[in-house]
Amino acid sequence: MSDTPDFYELEADAAADRERLDRYLAEAIPELSRSRCKALIEGGHLTVDGEPVTDPKHKVRTGSLYVLTPPEPEPATPEPEDIPLDVLFEDDDLIVVNKAAGMTVHPAAGNWSGTLVNALLHHCADSLSGIGGVQRPGIVHRLDKDTSGVMVVAKSDRAHQGLSERFAAHDVERAYLAVVRTAPKPRAGRLETRLARSSHDRKKFAVIDDPTSKAGRHAVTNYETLKGFGQEPGKGVGTPMASLVECRLETGRTHQIRIHMAHLGCPLLGDPVYGHGRASPLLRLDKDKLFKEFRRQALHAAVLGFAHPVSGEALRFETEPPEDMQKLIGFLETL
């Protein structure tokens, strides 16, 4: 075994021949558990005679050279990063930003840097509220990574407490602009359901079909179709190929708008999770590839309004969708 602490090098002897690989590594490297060894193998951190092996069940071969190189440990706390922010409002108690699409809100597995929290730690220095914990300082609500728009973050603990209470009481104005396939039926309405983890895919959430169920979380979306685009082939006259829909939230559940629109049969354009494909009728008309190259859910948090948690002043912020979404809408207007 190498004296170098950041990798392990082992040559298998005859006693280990035909032993399962993850078990062999765990016995040879006491500081690593078998489950950790298995995860490292599956993660591509092991080579056998210079070739990568990712199967923990692989049988050890006498005389082969095994090199295990664990990844660098992730930082325990987020580091400040000088990332530009579109600041809409800021005082001693809170900051309101227009979050860019593609920016994760807080550090998590796979996104330990480049997040909104990293940017805020640099911009606000030591003035973020600590109530949210080390990984989520000041965060009282969030937007999905690929959703753009208005977010408020607490800089003081009293602001954090007050904002959290307002969000919990649904005493916050939140309006989103969504571009969806076809159009919801009816064109305007109130959708009230319960949402829970999908039994088929743990990365997704789904509407619970049983109206008497108490599982999941209560979710309410008020929506209104603002504009339709084109004519859906093979459908009744007046059925658009896509629509611009305003969604106003009474609750703020994970993926709520994305799930509710898909549940109504009109998933968001570009949604990789709930979108059901790339909408081939639109692709055939997309000569300039404005839709094909739109690689996120078409969702923008356009309006955020609330009473200032300390002063009580009425605050309301409204932003236009970013350039990529405006280009998408421009393409749809040509249909």
Residues ≥6 apart with Cβ < 8 Å to 267: 180, 181, 258, 261, 274, 275, 276
Whether residue 144 lies in the annotated active site: yes
- Measure the CA–CA gap between 103 and 289, rounded to whole angstroms: 23
In the block, residue with structure tokens 């325990």:
76
- Measure the CA–CA gap between 51 and 191, rounded to whole angstroms: 54
Q: Of the candidates 2, 161, 117, 112, which has an alpha carbon nearest to the alpha carbon of residue 67?
A: 2
Provide the CB-side half-sphere exposure for 326 (13 A, CA).
6
Residues 177/185, Cβ–Cβ less than 8 Å: no
The helix (H) or strand (E) run that includes residue 278 is none
Helix, strand, coil tally for the chain in percent (to 5) = 20, 30, 55
Residues 268/259, Cβ–Cβ less than 8 Å: no
The helix (H) or strand (E) run that includes residue 149 is strand 148-154
Residues 264/185, Cβ–Cβ less than 8 Å: yes
The helix (H) or strand (E) run that includes residue 185 is none
Q: Of these residues, 6, 49, 55, 144, which one is catalytic?
A: 144
Residues 91/56, Cβ–Cβ less than 8 Å: no
Burial 137-163 (b: 16+ CB within 10 A, else e): bbbbbbbbbbbbbbbbbbbbeebbebb
Q: List, by residue number, the catalytic residues.
A: 144
